Amino acid sequence: MSLRIFNTLSRAVSDFSPAEPGHVRMYVCGMTVYDLCHLGHARSMIAFDVVQRWLKASGFKVTYVAMSPTSMTRSSNAHCKTAKPFAT
């Protein structure tokens, strides 16, 4: 079974082929939480975990990097300290 994805550039479904044959690189942003936690926050982590597991089971070497909420919090906090308020 091959992986078919929707290519937003061509606006068509096409067969997946990695840039480097046999090796897939995935960089995934984590959740951004500004309010109470809910099940939707886990969606992207679960979805991309399933994709990378399927790719590994299909014989691909997978480099999977997921940005952690901790590093995102540090980034957000640094931004808040330097951000200028919008004029109203």
Residue 14 is predicted with a pLDDT of 92
Hey, where are the domains in the chain? Answer: 27-82
Give per-residue pLDDT as tens, 6-61. 989 999 999 999 999 999 999 887 776 666 777 877 887 888 999 999 999 999 99
The model carries a pTM of 0.66
**What residues have CB less than 8 Å from 45, skipping those under 6 apart?**
28, 30, 31, 66
Q: Which helix (H) or strand (E) holds 4?
A: strand 4-7
**What residues have CB less than 8 Å from 87, skipping those under 6 apart?**
none
